[in-house]
């Protein structure tokens, strides 16, 4: 068993040395599979680019969601202020400061004779 492990480790070391030295590129099997290797490299580049693009879109969506929350809070605040200012008592008080008084006489209906 010890001899098998030695041969396996020598074979692995030889493979790593061949890869790092670049001599594996001169073999015929590698040159036959070169277009496939280029295809795999292209797919890897596309995959990496796609993941960067997806992460960029996710960051943009999160940013837009934060902006939407802020705008929604601002809308609710302004709507609340507007509702407060549209109350009859508040309008009457604001107009009283300008010299306009609230009418105490109820409106009258005007009737016309129709044909």
Residue scoring higher pLDDT (90 or 20): 90
The Cβ of residue 33 has, within 10 Å, a number of other Cβ atoms equal to 13
Taking residues 69-82, what's their average pLDDT? 95
Percent of the chain with pLDDT over 90: 38
Using the predicted structure, report yes or no on whether residue 61 has a pLDDT greater than 90. Answer: yes
The yes-or-no verdict on residue 47 having pLDDT over 70 is: yes
Token pair of 33 as six digits: 């599979």
Mean pLDDT of the chain: 85
Whether the CB-CB separation of 90 and 84 falls below 8 Å is answered with: yes
Q: What is the mean pLDDT of residues 90-108?
A: 84
Please tell me which residue, 16 or 26, carries the higher pLDDT value. Answer: 16
Cα(75)–Cα(66) distance, integer angstroms: 14
98 confidence band (pLDDT: 50, 70, 90): confident
């Amino acid at each position: 068993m010890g001899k098998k492990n030695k041969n396996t480790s020598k074979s692995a070391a030889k493979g790593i040395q061949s890869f790092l030295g670049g001599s594996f590129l001169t073999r015929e099997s590698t040159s036959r599979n070169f277009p496939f290797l280029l295809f795999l490299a292209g797919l890897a580049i596309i995959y990496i680019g796609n993941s960067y693009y997806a992460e960029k879109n996710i960051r943009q969506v999160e940013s837009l969601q934060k902006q939407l929350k802020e705008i929604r809070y601002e809308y609710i605040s302004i709507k609340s202020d507007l509702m407060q200012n549209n109350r009859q008592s508040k309008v009457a008080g604001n107009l009283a400061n300008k010299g306009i008084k609230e009418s105490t006489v109820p409106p009258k209906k005007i009737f016309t004779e129709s044909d």
